[in-house]
Structure 1
Amino acid sequence: MRDYDEITAFLGEWGPAQKLIVLLLTVSIIPNGFAGLNIIFVGDTPEHRCSIPGNPNLSQAWMNRTIPRVPGTQVQYSQCSRYRLDVIRNLSEVFPDPDLLNVSGIDEEPCLDGWDYSQDQYTSTIVSEWDLVCDDKWKEPFTTSLYYFGVLIGSGGSGVISDRFGRKIVLFGSMGVQILFNLLITLSPSWEIFCLINFLRGIGEVSYYVAAFVLGSEILQKSIRVTYSTLGIGCFYAVGYMMLPFIAYFVRGWRMLILILSLIGLLYIPLWWFIPESPRWLLSKGRVKEAESIIRFMAKKNGITPPTILFTDDELEDLNVQNKQVKSVPVAQLIKSRNILVITVISALIWMILAIGYYGLSLNIPNLHGNDYLNCFLFGAIEIPSYIASWLLLRKCPRRLSHAGILALSGGVLLFMNLIPSNLSILSTVLVLIGKMGIAWAFCMVYVYTSELYPTPLRNTGVGVSSMTSRTGSIISPYIVLLGSYQENLPFIVMGVLMVFSGIVVLFLPETFNIPLPDTIDQMQKVKWCKCSHSDSTQTRENNVVILKEEML
């Protein structure tokens, strides 16, 4: 019996219809490149010091001496304390010239009158507007983590909504959610309201990317899917990443920056009339006429005369059986066999570490040496060769060794950062870029590798659990960046150790290169060091029976 790909093979693999769909879907991914990373500029912390209220009894010379210097430095002033103003006033009356007196022994007090922020780089950020510094500096990473927590919630529900209402509805619905909450967040009157809207914004952000990925994968033929998911989506995501610093360079206020970024999304609404629904999904819902209409339109676009009858009754029934087979099964099935459990734990761990590294490096851009806007642009540009390399490796090389090598290289480079003298700032930036390239490279490959590890009934569930775990890593990443406020290279040390560790852990997974995708649990590759006992074999057979019953239902 022919499957969907065989039935629609007459369309060809790369005709005008497929090219148009790929172009529209990949171009529409661009806003996702800056949706989750605009916090780099929106939430950056400008240089600041305690505000000193104007006092006619205090000369300018004494005003300049009210801020203590950081111990061990001659030019860096404290950002969270000042000398007691009442003592300074009394001393200024006795000593008109502050140079005649050593003020370092005067008691200090917190910034009771707020802070003065430098406007050399920004006119405003959420940090400068709501004073998210000193005792409240935890609020800035919390804001970012809350956004990624929304992404976690969205990733858990987007698949269910997409299966229920269709890929196209989720695609444009999540686009509308992004635009709406981006517009609302610019009206935030307080940090608390900003956090709430930012959380809701995160729920819609990931749904669009996933829906575009699934829609394109279901419409395109097998030979084009890997290219679409790596070079297509990946490279255009990087284009959006590179656009962010370009726009932020000219727009230095956080409200106007988010407003402009959200208005860019309005340009994609007309795509509703050009991007079709997934024929596979329509067939799974029994909407045969709609599916046939889309396929015939694609055939006309490609200059091909379609068969008079596209689907026989037997083929429709067979397609329904296939759709049931690829539906996700309960997560509990992932822990009922030792082999599946070990693969799931290792995969989830790798995904989480990759997310920590990817978002940790991205969010750490303001703490790097050099120009923030140039560094952010380079961080986006370096992903394009990463996706090209991923595409080549996935076609030619073993999964396990190549993945482990990339992870170990990225981690080693980040650890080497600790040995670079502070005066070699360009070398430090280059090493960070190499580390970022490796992480993006590995992140792109892990999608394919993980999907090849699981059998058909568990594939959606296994990849979904791993993806959910990666969202946990993105929630943690802002606090890894916060470690840099205590020791500059500490975030690189933590991320480097984690990356090297994940590179070692990958070696415990089975190889899947040039091995047919497993359709049952028995066909799964075995973790060599994890001996499968008799009870595990019995449990595997029971799992197959349970899954078979669920498929029949």
Structure 2
Amino acid sequence: MDMRDSDELTAFLGEWGPFQKTIFFSLSILIIPNGYTSLSMVFVADTPQHHCRLSNSTTISPGGRFSFNLSLRLPVEERNGERVDSQCIQFKPRAGERFNDTSGETEPCTDGWVYSTDRYISTIVSEWNLVCDDKWKGPFTASVFFFGMLCGSLISGQVSDRYGRKIILFISMAVHAVFSIFLVTAQSWEMFAVLYFIVGLAQVTRYIVMFILGSEILGKAERIAFGTVGACLFVAFGYVILPIFAYFIRDWRVLLVALSLPQILYVPLWWLIPESPRWLLSQGRDTEAKAILQAAAQRNGITITAEILETIIDRECMLPTGDIRTVTYLDLVRTSNIRNVTVVSVLVWMIVSVGYYGLSFNTPNMHGDPYVNCFICAAAEMAAYVTTWILLRTSPRRISIACIVGCSGVLLLLTQIIPPSHYVLTAIMAMVGKFGYSAVFSMIYVFSAELYPTVVRSMGIAACSMASMIATIISPYVAYLGMHNKILPFVLMGSLSIVAGIFCLLLPETYGQPLPQTIDQVKPILCCATMRDYIIVPGKDNVENEQRLDSQKGAV
């Protein structure tokens, strides 16, 4: 069965009836935890102020400053342009001398570390001493989570195609919630990382299957809103919740429990969300599909006879399948046009992913309160998704994306010329950059879907998504650079953003253009296009000629 005409089966239900509203809000609500699970590492894996544990020494005083006698035992080093006491080495005391007498020689911390509790009661960093030689483990924890998401992206489609959308959706929700709670039982960093990998795998499976289920049940009008304002906006709402919970709960174990337990409230949604009728029909389970459609019609106050419903189902099952040749991922590079589109799209996805998550994880390194910064980032993200919905309905894709991501990059680069005393202005510019990345992150899904032809559209999006996940794995280390120089992450992400904006301008325009159906209909990128690509070719059928004329209007 061809999945191209996804409105054929549900068109008789009308638009935005009670059934569609129930599905829309039920699916959107259950995706809220995706907004805070991955980014919870902003607080769970943050590094508090710390110093070597010294015998008879005082701990860090309120405000994170060391006491006078402690400073005598710690070398001074430069960090972020300031001279501060070392966090990883100490002076060796002279044998048999008083505590404050040192030989001038240094050594690594021999008795562990003392951590400030001004901001956190505990984090995984202070719990397992992920500092100094082990400080790479902090950002690597988030990378492990994203590697789990990469693996989940590879298997989610296959398992939901085999076992059904609804059952896999709720299984992934259960795994996501249960293993999020299991994280608090971890007795070592290694155990925590393994459990967090499973959480990442379940989280992306939850999102992808939810998106597929909504796309197959909802009609065209609801589906556009669902993909932008619905799913994305509710994920952003989950992001807003994170700093609020973290502000009042400063222990990482209690924080994870508080974020995970409310997911038990999703259990009643099992009886509100049906299985996809399209998937049931593809499995030959016509009776179950008919029952769901009849219940939906009744919910919307639509009377439909068994004969009419049977006719609709018969038409659905008889949709033409197009090219029967089995396509593979190699088809994404089979011709020069689709190969160029794939290469440019993959690069744009990777750069946007690094920028989006790099800014998110860089929140603790920014000036000001990290809870306020995180909340503002989340609020900017919500505004970005509303903006995205408007732009997708009214504006050209490549111009909008290029302008937004390019301007975001320029703003991030300008942060390096702002004096340190004007840190509020730096934070504002970073938030505007986050707004841009959030908007582009949502828009490139739609843009890429319109660039790829029907026969490989799913694989094209999957390839871009996997490349995005690979880039996301390294994004925590972009933020890690901010621990040594607060400006460096902004410079790196700003430069890459401008490159991404240039790449976007190379892609063909898709706004108001017919979607390509076959690989041969993929438009060339602009630097490789010739007049032959934009004129009517004699002997071609009307459909292809019409597409060439449309290409001329939208791409030149």
> Shared fold by TM > 0.5?
yes
**2:29 aligned partner:** 27
> Which whole-Å CA distance do the structure 2 matches of 1:128 and 1:326 have between them?
58
1:69 and 2:76 matched? yes
**1:407 aligned partner:** 405
State, as a whole percentage, how many aligned pairs show the same letter.
45
Contact 1:81 1:108 in 2 (8 A): yes
**What's the RMSD between the two structures over aligned residues?**
2.6
**2:161 aligned partner:** 163
Contact 1:284 1:323 in 2 (8 A): no
Deviations 1:63-121 (A, max 9, x none): 5521223359887211111111235x6255xxxxx6xx9x7x81221111110000011
Say which of 29, 49, 52 aligns to 1:50: 52
> Which whole-Å CA distance do the structure 2 matches of 1:184 and 1:326 have between them?
46
**1:478 aligned partner:** 476
Q: Report deviation, 1:389.
A: 1.0
Q: Report deviation, 1:326.
A: 11
> Which whole-Å CA distance do the structure 1 matches of 2:316 and 2:57 have between them?
84
Cα distance change on mapping 1:252 and 1:523 into 2, 3 Å: same
- Length-normalised TM-score, structure 1: 0.89
Cα distance change on mapping 1:71 and 1:486 into 2, 3 Å: closer
Cα distance change on mapping 1:322 and 1:495 into 2, 3 Å: farther
Q: Report deviation, 1:524.
A: 2.0
Q: Report deviation, 1:149.
A: 0.5
> Which whole-Å CA distance do the structure 2 matches of 1:354 and 1:150 have between them?
20
Contact 2:340 2:524 in 1 (8 A): no
**1:83 aligned partner:** 91
**1:380 aligned partner:** 378
Contact 1:30 1:240 in 2 (8 A): yes
Contact 1:151 1:206 in 2 (8 A): yes
Return the letter of the residue paired with 1:222. K
> Which whole-Å CA distance do the structure 2 matches of 1:225 and 1:48 have between them?
50
Say which of 164, 174, 177 aligns to 1:179: 177
SS at match of 1:67: coil
**2:511 aligned partner:** 513
Cα distance change on mapping 1:278 and 1:141 into 2, 3 Å: same
Return the letter of the residue paired with 1:351. W
Contact 1:325 1:456 in 2 (8 A): no
Return the letter of the residue paired with 2:438. A
List runs of 5+ in structure 1 lacking aligned partners: 93-97, 535-553
- Length-normalised TM-score, structure 2: 0.89
**1:16 aligned partner:** 18
Q: Report deviation, 1:320.
A: 5.4
**2:258 aligned partner:** 260
Contact 1:383 1:437 in 2 (8 A): yes
Contact 1:328 1:459 in 2 (8 A): no
**2:549 aligned partner:** none
> Which whole-Å CA distance do the structure 1 matches of 2:131 and 2:331 have between them?
46
Return the letter of the residue paired with 1:45. T
> Which whole-Å CA distance do the structure 1 matches of 2:421 and 2:238 have between them?
32
Q: How does 1:107-506 map to 2 (within 5 A)?
A: 107-312=105-310, 316=314, 319=317, 321=319, 329-506=327-504
> Which whole-Å CA distance do the structure 2 matches of 1:4 and 1:514 have between them?
19
Q: How many residues align?
A: 522
Deviations 1:188-243 (A, max 9, x none): 11111111111111111111111111111111111221111101111111110000
Contact 2:180 2:256 in 1 (8 A): yes
Return the letter of the residue paired with 1:411. G
Q: Report deviation, 1:392.
A: 0.9
SS at match of 1:305: coil
Deviations 1:39-76 (A, max 9, x none): 111100000001012389xxx96455212233598872
List structure 1 runs of 4+ shifted beyond 6 angstroms: 72-75, 323-328
> Which whole-Å CA distance do the structure 1 matches of 2:406 and 2:325 have between them?
35
SS at match of 2:39: coil
> Which whole-Å CA distance do the structure 1 matches of 2:68 and 2:515 have between them?
75
> Which whole-Å CA distance do the structure 2 matches of 1:326 and 1:272 have between them?
36
Cα distance change on mapping 1:328 and 1:199 into 2, 3 Å: farther
Contact 1:31 1:264 in 2 (8 A): no
Contact 2:172 2:203 in 1 (8 A): yes
Range 274-283 or range 429-438, more displaced: 274-283
Cα distance change on mapping 1:64 and 1:418 into 2, 3 Å: closer
Q: Report deviation, 1:322.
A: 5.1
